[in-house]
Structure 1
């Protein structure tokens, strides 16, 4: 099994960001679909993708793609897949999740049940045994049905990759780590530029920015399900990926990353989260309302996830909040602002039409990423070399 296809699900609307990440890791893209990117790699690629991809939700080892319009057809085609190439005799296996969109087979619980039975029948024949103890490593299956086509993969990650391990405390409407990273990576921001989040909540956006600046791999402080797949992935491949991640870290950098929130308690939680991520010294957190947002320097970035009326009682406060946001943005000289929100009147009360607007699904919630683009800073004059 030298070459395999790997599937990386992501937030709808952020496929291009993930595609670029995968290419930067050195892997070839085979397909880009809504909410997922498929690429070609080897067993080592499973380790590197889990360790280094900031915007993927998980990494699936693709077992096959089948067309099924009836449960009998699903059973037979699932049974025909080479499950023994992946699952050992003592492996624990089940269909952990099924989704179905515009397909004749829409009962996800029945899809899960039928596929489990088909897998058992296949492995009975191959291993010549009628009962499986399932006492070994876990091999959960995920299946995505779209217009009667099912993509089937084994979950190598376990817990979603947004669970970096640093965020024990969260605010009222936290943004996921993967979405925060995707927002940052789609901007021209780099560690030489200022970044401020005036609604930092539990600190996710500033922390992800600091991790990017310091080259801290998102998977450094967690484990992955496939680490126990010793029938497929030698332990040295995992240790190799972890070792390279350690070598790349550079926390002795100078950056200007700031996080504000009006809630002092949540600011304290943000500092604690940053400490667990190893970047507390790289971020300045402060209790401050958005109306006091200011910075003397030019060409910075605001990247933020402001409130958008998750609680009905807060909806009446939104016009004033977004007006204050707009006034604060206007005071920032030459800055760019990136605002993700589900509030449909955001542009109206900010007082400016966004230069770009991207629809993104944050879980099941439809949000919009409004991009107010500032000018590019002038290029630094290079000193002429004297021979």
Structure 2
């Protein structure tokens, strides 16, 4: 019987995650704000964790039901065969959330779910009622999600969010999540045959994620996942899929991508992160102001998440320089994420596409400008 799975995502990136799943041969069955559902086998939850670039995490939907009464909630949760998911000695931490529902008291949801699951496990194992559950083994995190009186019991297979790729161990003043950076690259028209320039790259997240995409390197290859300790997805399954992902990587890019920043320490951190990600030779980082940035390549893509400043007025010069740079790159396309209300006016032309995305809790707009298509993607000058 296939598993019902879901990939969670930041608002605005659901369609990107849906396209990623389709590319993995796992077409979405349902898409809502913040989540994309799909069906698959245990190997597919492994593949999704290793390969999804813009998703936050991968969950198993263990059970769903409508409920407005805590006694009914306890009975339904206790009737589930939890031995399918939870090994004998596994820990099963419970988190809960409730939105516009009769079951609105989150601590009660957590405590009742914990008690119901513990009693169900004791009964299945033949232990005396009330016997303690060991909880010394690998964790199986469970989320109780109640929305409009509809209960979803979700098993987190990821652990730390998928943005934790493993390559970024130095931080800048306002780091962008790797999942958001990958989403911006995937929303742009960039591919490995085209030049790419990020003139305000900070610690390098945007160009690094682009290089990983260009080389078809699985973003989860360098990290571990909580489901690696589950019988549902045994270690040999993870080893097999990691080997397949390693084999799928493409050769280095023909010409390096470009990243620049005014901050010397940020540029140093960007080089360090690129090396850790395995794409050090695929990106050329340079300390320079935006006003001095440029490229000899044609039909490239300008990607940027410019600094916003503590007040938008502090960021005016940065955005003006960025707009002027883009206008100098006459046949280029661009994707710029910013909350600055005047950026489109600075560019002096209407964006082909505008998409609302969140950088953390800050609402931003992704301004996308489409330049002319390259005469030929193969062999276009870089």
Both proteins in one fold, TM over 0.5: yes
* Aligned twin of 2:28: 29
Pair 13,380 (structure 1): closer, same or farther in 2 beyond 3 Å: closer
**374 and 100 in structure 1: CA distance in 2 versus 1, 3 angstrom threshold:** farther
Q: Deviations over 1:294-343 (max 9, x none)?
A: 2222211011111123x24xx32222221221111110121111111222
Structure 2 residues not aligned, in runs of 5+: none
- Distance across 2 between alignment mates of 1:94 and 1:359: 34
- Structure 1 residues without counterparts, runs of 5 or longer: 383-387
* CA root-mean-square deviation: 1.9
Q: Which residue number corresponds to residue 292 of structure 1?
A: 292
> Which secondary structure state, in structure 1, belongs to the residue aligned with residue 63 of structure 2?
strand
* Equivalent residue runs for 1:1-387 within 5 Å: 2-95=1-94, 97-129=95-127, 130-229=131-230, 231-309=231-309, 311-312=310-311, 315-379=312-376
- More displaced 10-residue stretch of structure 1: 332-341 or 98-107: 98-107
* Shift in CA distance, 38/294, structure 1 to aligned 2, threshold 3 Å: same
Q: CA 1:225–1:210 in 2, change beyond 3 Å: closer, same or farther? A: same
Change (3 A) 1:195 1:136: same
Report which stretch shifted further, 203-212 or 72-81. 72-81
Judge which range, 34-43 or 288-297, deviates more.
Answer: 288-297
Tell me how far 1:217 sits from its aligned partner: 0.7
Taking the aligned partners of 2:369 and 2:314, their CA distance within structure 1 comes to: 23
Shift of 1:264: 0.7
Once the two structures are TM-superposed, the CA of residue 145 in structure 1 deviates from its matched residue by 2.5
In structure 2, distance between residues paired with 1:192 and 1:379: 9
> Conserved in 2, the CA contact under 8 Å of 1:300 and 1:334?
yes
Q: Report Cα offsets for 1:147-196 as digits up to 9, x if no partner.
A: 22122211111111110100011221111111111111122211000111
In 2, Cα distance between the equivalents of 1:319 and 1:326? 11
Query: Does structure 2 conserve the Cα–Cα contact (< 8 Å) formed by 1:166 and 1:277?
Result: yes
Alpha-carbon distance in 1 for matches of 2:307, 2:319? 9
Superposed displacement of residue 284, structure 1: 0.5
Say whether the 8 Å CA contact 2:256–2:281 is kept in structure 1: no
Q: Secondary structure in 1 aligned to 2:365?
A: strand
Shift of 1:268: 0.2
The TM-score normalised by the length of structure 2 is 0.93
Alignment partner of 1:139: what SS? Answer: coil
> What is the number of equivalent residue pairs in this alignment?
376
* TM-score, with structure 1 as normaliser: 0.92
What secondary structure does 1:339 align onto?
strand
Distance of aligned partners of 1:367 and 1:143 in 2 relative to their CA distance in 1, 3 Å threshold? farther
1:194-237, Cα deviation, whole Å (9 max, x unpaired): 111111111001001111111211111111111111x2223221
Partner of 2:143: helix, strand, or coil?
strand
Q: Aligned partners of 1:345, 1:109: CA distance in 2, in Å?
A: 45
State the alpha-carbon separation in 2 of the partners of residues 72 and 335 from structure 1: 61
Alpha-carbon distance change, 47 to 330 in structure 1, aligned in 2, over 3 angstroms: same
**Deviation for aligned residue 1:380:** 6.8
Cα contact 1:323–1:351 (8 A) shared by 2: no
Distance 1:380 1:279, change over 3 A: closer
- SS, match of residue 5 in structure 2: strand
